[in-house]
Amino acid sequence: MALQIQTLTIRPKKYFLCFSRFLSQFLSRDPYDPPFSPSSKPPKLKKTNKKDPSHAKDPTLNRPLKSDLHFDFRYSYSETNPSVEPIGFREPPRFSPFGPGRLDRRWTGTSAPAQQQVDQESVAQARSRVLGDPLTEEEVAELVEHYRHSDCASQINLGKGGVTHNMLDDIHNHWKRAEAVRIKCLGVPTLDMHNVCFHLEDKSGGKVIYQHINVVLLYRGRNYDPNNRPVIPLMLWKPYAPIYPKLVKNVADGLTFEETKEMRNRGLNSPPLMKLTRNGVYVNVVARVREAFETEEVVRLDCTHVGTSDCKKVGLRLKDLVPCVPILFKDEQIILWRGKREQEQESNLLKEDTSAKMLG
């Protein structure tokens, strides 16, 4: 019995050795045949001929992109004033946001001007050809009913940057599959919706067929062809805003230092005319400020939680739209002074009276 137990314990080892010898005689030559394949080096790849024209780089890939658009390229078209020159830059102007060597226009720090002289008549004719015949009232009503709702698939959100350069490419991408695009505007650009509509039409070539408060519908035109869309080179990053002259002076024009200080204190202690929210709709702000200046000399706007940058942008836009004089930005509060309008009107009346007496 002892011998039989020993043979039972030894036999599995013998069977295992025989099985391993059997497998070793039928090893596969395929190096990727697991799990009993021998370790072998991977096959060497054939060397490609560098002189082969099929592997040569396309010379057109290194050429700068050329665009025939008639306007100067800027980061924002509706929120910048080309007539105001900056006094400095926060980054070297030689760094173009379009990338090195990707555009045939030179970046000046604020824009990439067009290289050729622009013929406005030819631009207007090309735009009218794309738009085609004017839409009838029934067609406009049908498009408005289809695209004005908030659940519209062809929608672009316009924020504090306004009509930006890359937004033009988004508009043409929506026009591939839709006749119109819905643009929802928020923030500082809503102070002047006429300016937003103008730049949308001028830069995209479309037609605004509907505008209600902060919603705009931009129509592409009857003869629009997505295959012949204009070439719009994209900006790879947002350029730093340049440094502009100081908006608020220490002493306001037409006032002394003591009068300016008194106006600022009066504005801070007065109740706010309006309270603006962050990324809100500011369509009625200009009208409210103009109405307040009929009875008040100084107006305060409460811009808590709006942000310092947007607060200054609001004051800058109101300066030109109302018009008025911003005299203080403090703790997200805007103090606006209407200026010496009464004195100017009185002086003009006196001049008219004196001239009438001299003629009489």
Which one of 244, 268, 302 terminates a domain? 244
Predicted confidence band of residue 254 (pLDDT cuts 50, 70, 90): confident
239 and 254 co-located in one domain: no
301 and 207 co-located in one domain: no
Residues 6+ apart with CB under 8 A from 79: 160, 161, 162, 163, 188, 189, 313
Beta bridge partners of 184: 157, 215
Q: Which of 85-94, 155-164, 170-179, 334-343 has the least mean pLDDT? A: 334-343
144 and 218 co-located in one domain: yes
Beta bridge partners of 336: 299, 326
Domain assignment present for residue 351? The answer is no
254 and 107 co-located in one domain: no
Which one of 192, 210, 244 terminates a domain? 244
CATH number of the CATH domain containing 132: 3.30.110.60
Cis upstream peptide for 245 (omega within 30°): no
More confident residue, 61 or 315: 315
**Positive or negative CA dihedral for 7, 8, 10, 11?**
positive
83 and 209 co-located in one domain: yes
Provide the number of structural domains found in the chain. Answer: 2
Neighbours of 87 (CB within 10 A): 10
73 and 213 co-located in one domain: yes
254 and 240 co-located in one domain: no
What whole-number distance in Å separates Cα of residue 219 and Cα of residue 180? 4
Mean pLDDT along residues 17-25: 53
Which one of 203, 221, 244 terminates a domain? 244
What whole-number distance in Å separates Cα of residue 80 and Cα of residue 330? 24
260 and 335 co-located in one domain: yes
Domain assignment present for residue 46? The answer is no
At position 302, the amino acid (one-letter code) is: D
Mean pLDDT, the chain, whole residue set: 83
What whole-number distance in Å separates Cα of residue 34 and Cα of residue 59? 46
Domain assignment present for residue 325? The answer is yes
Most trustworthy range by pLDDT among 43-47, 190-194, 338-342:
190-194
Domain assignment present for residue 110? The answer is yes
Yes or no: say if 49 and 135 are a contact pair by the CB < 8 Å rule: no
Domain that holds residue 252: 246-343
Domain assignment present for residue 23? The answer is no
| 10 exposure class (CB count in 10 Å sphere: 0-12, 13-18, 19+) | exposed
pLDDT at 34: 52
Domain assignment present for residue 43? The answer is no
127 and 223 co-located in one domain: yes
Domain assignment present for residue 173? The answer is yes
137 and 70 co-located in one domain: yes
Backbone angles phi, psi at 140, to 5 degrees: -65, -45
292 and 240 co-located in one domain: no
Q: Is the predicted pLDDT of residue 124 greater than 70, yes or no?
A: yes
148 and 287 co-located in one domain: no
Of the candidates 227, 221, 237, the one whose C-alpha atom is nearest the C-alpha of residue 164 is 237
For 146-181, how does the pLDDT look when each residue is reduced to its tens digit (9 = 90+)? 999 988 889 999 999 999 999 999 999 999 999 999
Q: Is the predicted pLDDT of residue 350 greater than 70, yes or no?
A: no
Mean pLDDT along residues 81-97: 91
